[in-house]
Structure 1
Amino acid sequence: MIKEEVDLVYPLFDGAAETGKITRKAFTEWVVKVYTSRKALAHSLNDTKTAVKELNKLVTAILMVVTLVIWLLLLEVATTKVLLFFSTQMVALAFIIRNTCKNLFESIIFVFVMHPYDVGDRFVVDGVPMLVEEMNLLSTVFLKLDNEKVYYPNALLGAQNPHHWSPIHTVVVKEIENMNKMKMALYSNHTITFQEYSERNIRRSEQALAIKKILDDLHIDYSLLPQHVHLTKSDKN
């Protein structure tokens, strides 16, 4: 490897950029991380293909019906009165299954337009942390921590409010300095995968600004302790 390639590889291993050496533990962790990422990507691509195939079948069925109607009109097999009768019945049927059509449209928008997560991402539904196991056109399969599978309709997931942070967090007192300062650390969990570095940094900045605003609203600030001032009188000739 040339030097430029080495400089790009070292930051991928824990501690290698500082020491210039790759330990066996760091190399093992990197291999496991790459395997997990590639596995999640393979599952995501597979589920995306599955959703596309389901959508393709739906569109194909609609096109076949439209083609059949046009073909009957061209051959003058069906008159406009017959088509008007069938169209009236279709409108009535659509009114009956309007909720199903609405859920189908919302699911298509949720999967292909919004696409808030991929297979392997961590997800919190009703306060329960889960892992995205499988994505379909109408539903998503989640895996709980005890390997229990849960099915949620995509139309229902699209109506929930998005959360950038998990409600599970920890506040640790790090140090008390001079009996007038207390340094504390906030540990919170992201709801995205570790690969999205730019999004993680944006969320951390927004979190820090939000904490500052909360402290300002609560009028929590820091003031210097009273300082002793000693005045000395100098004799002047």
Structure 2
Amino acid sequence: DIGSTANAKRLAKTLFYNLQTNSEDLVVENFYPYFSTQEEARTAFAIFDKDGNGDISKSEMKEKIFYVYKERKDLHTSLRDLSQAVGKLNVIFLTIVAVIWLFIILSIFGKDIVKNMLSIGSFLVALSFVFGNSLKILFENIVFLFITHPYDSGDLVSIEGTDMYVREVGLNSTTFVTWDGKRMYYPNNLISQKPIHNVRRSPNMTDKIVLNIDCYTPQSKIFELRARMRDYLIRESKDFLPDLEIQIQEMDAKLKISMCIEHKGNWQDSGRRWARRTAFNYALKEAVEEIGIQYYALPQRV
């Protein structure tokens, strides 16, 4: 059972060494003895072979097991939040049903329902001025959570440019946590009016790298830079798609160039995303200096 990060690490290590034979990395043949058919073994192997290069390293095995652990943990939290929300709705609907049954019982015992309904109706009209807006908000929250359903617990979302992890989903509000640990409490009726970018549900995502270089840089050096960075993406194919183009965005005293790198997967694991981007930037800096391209720091916002 993967109940903690320590257990996940231990399981990944156990699986890897139990499957390993002579080679340093695992190959599909290592999976054959444990499956009924070779097709099933190849399907299971592909789950762990993230870069599709035909072997599984220890880091790939560890990463996949950690991913499964996090997904299970987030799923458990989502089911808990959903159960709590449904429980609150159940109380509301049971109250409504109880009131309806009260009228039915009164009619069975020959009570004057019309007279009682007029009295209760007057009371409900008075209450509507007090709780009418609350009932409207409750209905909007139900539609937002159960029909629109833009996120689950554990999802990384971006709302008005702020990246946050969904920590807890309630019937009336949602708790978010920012990258620096701040807890944010948002009423659901306010969030429902804002655009929500759900990172976890997104496909492959792309980073844009911008660089200012000398305006007299020859085209041949820019092409060489593109070739060098494409080679880097090929070497790191487990994290990136091996495709890159360099575009000139502005031509002034400097050349402002940009390049887009497509990650394999989305940025749900934001720490891993920034680690990949940092490694790419170091490789870019090294390539620029070796080729002899003069570059400048981008202007900073004040």
TM-score by length of 1: 0.70
Where does structure 2 lack aligned partners over 5 or more consecutive residues? 1-34, 212-216, 224-244, 247-257, 270-302
Question: 1:51 offset after TM fit, Å?
Answer: 1.0
Question: 1:176 offset after TM fit, Å?
Answer: 7.6
TM-aligned CA distance change 1:180 to 1:122, over 3 Å: closer
* 1:170 matched to 2:208: yes
Question: 1:77 offset after TM fit, Å?
Answer: 2.9
CA distance in 1, matches of 2:130, 2:38: 68
Question: 1:68 offset after TM fit, Å?
Answer: 0.8
2:46 to 11, 14, 31: 11
Is contact 1:164-1:191 (8 Å) kept? no
Which amino acid letter does the alignment assign opposite residue 185 of structure 1? M
CA distance in 2, matches of 1:115, 1:170: 30
Question: 1:139 offset after TM fit, Å?
Answer: 1.2
Superposition map of 1:87-236 within 5 A? 87-163=121-197, 170-172=208-210, 177-178=219-220, 183=246, 184-186=258-260, 193=268
TM-score by length of 2: 0.56
CA distance in 2, matches of 1:114, 1:164: 13
Superposition map of 1:18-37 within 5 A? 18-19=53-54, 21-37=55-71
CA distance in 2, matches of 1:157, 1:192: 22
CA distance in 1, matches of 2:51, 2:197: 35
Is contact 2:173-2:186 (8 Å) kept? yes
% identical equivalent positions: 31
Give CA deviations for 1:77-124 in whole Å, capped at 9, x if unaligned: 344123212112102211222110111000000011110111111122
Where does structure 1 lack aligned partners over 5 or more consecutive residues? 195-237
RMSD of aligned C-alpha atoms? Answer: 3.0
Is contact 1:123-1:191 (8 Å) kept? no
TM-aligned CA distance change 1:171 to 1:64, over 3 Å: same
CA distance in 2, matches of 1:124, 1:140: 14
Question: 1:192 offset after TM fit, Å?
Answer: 7.8
CA distance in 2, matches of 1:94, 1:160: 28
TM-aligned CA distance change 1:42 to 1:163, over 3 Å: closer
CA distance in 2, matches of 1:65, 1:122: 42
CA distance in 2, matches of 1:176, 1:77: 96
* 1:58 matched to 2:92: yes
Which stretches of structure 1, 4 residues or more, deviate above 6 A after TM superposition?
179-182, 188-192
Q: How many residues align?
A: 191
